[in-house]
Structure 1
Amino acid sequence: MEHITALTAELLETDRTAGARRAAPAALRAVASAEARAAVGHGTAERSALMELLQVAAWILFDAERHGISRRFSSRALALARTLPAGAASVEPLVLSVLCLQEEHLGRPAESLRISSSVLAGRDLPVRVAAIFHVREARARARLRQDRRALRSLATARDLLADGPGERDPSWTWWFDRSELDGHHGLALADLGDLDGAAELLHEATAAGDAPAYRSLFSTELARVLARAGAWRETDARLSALVDSVPDIGSVRALNVLERTTRTIGRGPRVPRALRDTSGHLSAALRRETGPETGRTHPPYPAFRAVRRP
C-alpha cells in the first residue's frame, strides 16, 4: 500500500507543477507497477489506494487527450469502489466528476448531464462535492443550450462555494476554488454565446497566482474567446504573451485550444497583419512541441456507463 500511495503522491506533484504532458508517461508506468506488484493485497486499504492511483492516472491522461486509456482507468477505479465500504470509497465522486468533464469535452453533454444529475440526486452531499457537480451540470446544460438552467446551476455552485469549506468536504476538493469556478463559469457563458461575459470571467480565472498546471487551459480559452469575438488587438496581446510559454504548457487540452484559436484567426475577417504574424509564430511553436497530433479529432468513444454501487 505504501508503494502505491507514494506513486500517487509523486504523480499528483508532477501534474500540479509540470502538467499532463510530462505526467502521462509516469502515470502509465505507475499503474503498471502497482498492478504488477504481488504486494498489492485484497484488503480495504490496498484497494482504496489502488482506486486513488487509477483516478489520478485517469485525470492526467484525460488532460493529455488520451481518452481511451483514461476511461479504462476510470472504469476500473469505479469497479474497485463497488468493493469498498462507503467511507473508503470517498474518491468515487471525483472519478465521476472527471467523467462528466470528459463526456462534455468529447461532445456528449447529455451523457455528462446524466452522470452529474445522478450524483446530485444523492442525499446529503458535502458542500464542495455538490458545488462541483452543479458546475458539471451547468457546463453540460450550456452545451445543450439550456440557458436558464445552466445559469441557475452556476448560481447554486457559487452560493455553495461562498459558504466556505465544509467540515465534511473530502480532501480531494482542494482544487475547487473561486478561480476554478470562474473559469468554468466563463466557459459555460462562451457556449451560451455571451463572449464578453466569458472573457471577463476567464480573465479573473487566470489572475490566480500559484495555480495547478492544468489551469493554463483558462488562459488559452480566453484567447480563443477573444478571437471568436473578433477582438483582434486583445487577441494579439494575449497570444503574444503565450507564444514563448508554449514549451511550458503541460495541458494538451490547452495546446489544442491554441491550435483551434489559430484556425479561428485564419478564417477571421480583416485580421490585422500583426495578429496573423503572431498566429503564425504560435502555429510554428505548437508544431515544434506536439507535431501532427495537435488539434486531432477525437475518436468516437462509446458513451460511458458509470458503475453503480449496489
Structure 2
Amino acid sequence: MADELRDDLRAARRRSGLTFAAFAREAGYAESYLRNVENGTKPLTSDVARAYDRVLATGGEFSNAVDGPRRQEAPWNRQEALTILADMATGGGVDRRSFIVTSGTALTAVVGHWSDALTKQVRPVEVSDTAPDDVPKLVGHIEERLEYLRHLDDEFDSGEMARMARNELALLARLLEAGGLEATTESRAYSLAAEASRQVAWNLFDNKRHAAAEQYYHMALRSSAEANDVLTGAYSMSFMAIQHYTEGDPNDAVKLLETAEETTRHRATPRMRAMLAARKARALSKAGDRRRCAQALTTARDLLDLGPSDEDPEYLYWVTRGEIEMIAGSSALELGDPAHAVHCFNTAVRAESPEEVQYPKGHAIYLARAAEAHLALHDLDAAVDQARHAGKCLGSVESARSSSTLARLRRQLGEHRGHPTVRAFLQDG
C-alpha cells in the first residue's frame, strides 16, 4: 500500500503544474531526495508527507495517510482526542486506499480503549472568564444542522455530504480548542463531534473510501468517550460494523455489535437495541451463522414490537419494521434462502409508510437484493421489475455503494439476456 501512496504523491505533484525543482524548493527538500521518496528508495516520513500537504494544500491528506495507523496507538485521553480531532476536522483522514485499517486484535484493542475510557469520571472543566456567552447557543445550532444533515443523506452525493459534515466538525474542533467551556457544554460539543465524525465516516464509506472512513469512526469513538456518551459511541460503532461486514471480516463486525449491545444494555431503549440486534443478524449472515442470525432477528422484531419510547434518540428515526425486514431479507439471501428473502422483502414493502421510501440510496440497495432473490428463483420478470424500481429510486443521487450494487445486478441479469424482458431492460441502460 506504500507504493500506492507514493503514486498518489507523484500524481498530486504533477497535477499542481509546478516543475519538480520549484516544488522541491517550496517543500524545503532537495529535488533528488524527493525523487527517491517517490521512487521508493527513501522512506516516506511524516515530515515529507506534511510538506506535500502544505505545498499542494491537500488538507492533511498525505500526512494522515502516513500517520493514520499510529493514531490507533495514541493514548486515549482528552489531549490526544483534541489533537486528532483538530487535525482531521481540517481534512485529515482522507486516505484514498481501499483497505480497512483495523481488524482482529488491533480492532479489539480500539474497542477496549473505548470501553475503558467510558468508565472514567467526567472531569470538571474550569470556566474561562473570556468564554463567549453565546457558545451554548452556537453548539445548539450545530446540533440542529447535524440533525438536518442526517435527513439529507439521500438527497446529495456522498462526497458532498462528507464535506458538509466535516465543516461542522471543524467548527466544533475550533470551539473545543479555544477552551474555557462550561463542563456540560464541552461534553455536548464532544458528543456532537462524535456524531459529525460518524456522518463523515458513513459518507466516505458510501463513497468506497474505506480506510478514511475507518479513521473517522475511530474519531467518533474517541469523542464519544470524552463526552462519556455511550449511546452515541455505540451508534457510531454500529455503522462501523457495516463497513467491516461489507469489506472486512464479518466476525469483527459481530464483535463490534456485541460490544455495543453490552455497553448499552442498561441505557438503550428497545428501539436502539432492536437496531443493534438487526445489524448483528446481518453480520452473522455474512459469517454464515444461520442459527444465531435467526435468533438476533427474532430479538430485533420482539424489541421493536415494544413500541417507541420518549427516550429514543432522534437519530433512530429510520429504525422501522420495514427496515428490520429488509435486513432480514438481505440476511436470508446471504444464507442461500432466496424464497425466504423474497418473503421478507415483500413484508418490508407492506410495512413501509410513504415517508420510509424517501431514502433512495439504501432503498435502491434493498430493491437490488430483492431482484437478486427473484433471479435466484428464476423469476426473471419479477427480477427486472425490482431492478427497474431500484434504478428509478436511486435516480441522480451519487452513491458508489448503491451504484456498484446495481452494476453487479446488471451483470447477473446479463447472463439471461436471451429473455425478452431482461434484454429490453439491459438495452434501456
State the Cα distance separating 1:102 from its structure 2 match.
1.4
Do structure 1's residue 137 and structure 2's residue 280 form an aligned pair? yes
Contact between 1:265 and 1:271, CA under 8 Å: does it hold in 2?
no
Do structure 1's residue 261 and structure 2's residue 402 form an aligned pair? no
State the Cα distance separating 1:113 from its structure 2 match.
0.8
Q: Distance in 1 between matches of 2:188 and 2:273?
A: 26
State the Cα distance separating 1:280 from its structure 2 match.
4.1
Please give the per-residue CA displacement for 1:74-96, whole angstroms capped at 9, x wherever unaligned: 111111122123xx443111101
Q: Distance in 1 between matches of 2:428 and 2:361?
A: 23
- Distance of aligned partners of 1:277 and 1:14 in 2 relative to their CA distance in 1, 3 Å threshold: same
Residue 213 (structure 1) aligns with: 360
State the Cα distance separating 1:141 from its structure 2 match.
1.5
Instruction: Please identify, of 242-251 and 45-54, the stretch whose mean Cα deviation from structure 2 is larger.
Output: 242-251
State the Cα distance separating 1:3 from its structure 2 match.
5.2
Residue 111 (structure 1) aligns with: 252
Instruction: Please identify, of 270-279 and 232-241, the stretch whose mean Cα deviation from structure 2 is larger.
Output: 270-279
Q: Normalising by structure 1, report the TM-score.
A: 0.79
State the Cα distance separating 1:231 from its structure 2 match.
1.7
Residue 274 (structure 1) aligns with: 421
- Distance of aligned partners of 1:143 and 1:244 in 2 relative to their CA distance in 1, 3 Å threshold: closer
Query: Larger relative CO (CA 8 A, sep 6+): 1 or 2?
Result: 1
Residue 121 (structure 1) aligns with: 262
Q: Distance in 2 between matches of 1:61 and 1:203?
A: 31
Please give the per-residue CA displacement for 1:221-274, whole angstroms capped at 9, x wherever unaligned: 212322333321111222234445543345432221110101112234x74033
Contact between 1:186 and 1:201, CA under 8 Å: does it hold in 2?
yes
Residue 184 (structure 1) aligns with: 327
1:1-310 equivalences under 5 Å are: 1-2=139-140, 4-18=142-156, 20=158, 23-35=161-173, 41=179, 43-85=186-228, 88-122=229-263, 123-124=265-266, 125-206=268-349, 208=352, 209-211=354-356, 212-216=359-363, 217-268=365-416, 271-282=418-429
State the Cα distance separating 1:71 from its structure 2 match.
1.6
Q: Which amino acid in 2 is paired with 1:46?
A: A
Q: Distance in 2 between matches of 1:174 and 1:245?
A: 20
Contact between 2:172 and 2:189, CA under 8 Å: does it hold in 1?
no
Contact between 1:128 and 1:169, CA under 8 Å: does it hold in 2?
yes
Q: Normalising by structure 2, report the TM-score.
A: 0.59
State the Cα distance separating 1:39 from its structure 2 match.
7.3
Q: Distance in 1 between matches of 2:374 and 2:193?
A: 42
Please give the per-residue CA displacement for 1:179-224, whole angstroms capped at 9, x wherever unaligned: 1101101001101111011122223334521123333221222123
Q: Which amino acid in 2 is paired with 1:118?
A: T
Contact between 1:27 and 1:60, CA under 8 Å: does it hold in 2?
no
Structure 2 counterpart SS, 1:210: helix
Superposition CA RMSD, Å: 2.6
State the Cα distance separating 1:144 from its structure 2 match.
1.7
Instruction: Please identify, of 105-114 and 64-73, the stretch whose mean Cα deviation from structure 2 is larger.
Output: 64-73
Instruction: Please identify, of 273-282 and 153-162, the stretch whose mean Cα deviation from structure 2 is larger.
Output: 273-282
Contact between 1:134 and 1:156, CA under 8 Å: does it hold in 2?
yes
State the Cα distance separating 1:167 from its structure 2 match.
4.5
Q: Distance in 2 between matches of 1:164 and 1:246?
A: 30
Q: Distance in 1 between matches of 2:147 and 2:338?
A: 38
Provide the identity percentage.
22
Unmatched 5+ stretches in structure 1: 283-310
Residue 306 (structure 1) aligns with: none
Contact between 1:243 and 1:281, CA under 8 Å: does it hold in 2?
no
Structure 1 counterpart SS, 2:297: helix
Q: Distance in 2 between matches of 1:7 and 1:271?
A: 50
- Distance of aligned partners of 1:131 and 1:9 in 2 relative to their CA distance in 1, 3 Å threshold: closer
Structure 2 counterpart SS, 1:186: helix
Q: Which amino acid in 1 is paired with 2:255?
A: R
State the Cα distance separating 1:29 from its structure 2 match.
4.1
Q: Which amino acid in 2 is paired with 1:213?
A: P
Instruction: Please identify, of 110-119 and 57-66, the stretch whose mean Cα deviation from structure 2 is larger.
Output: 57-66
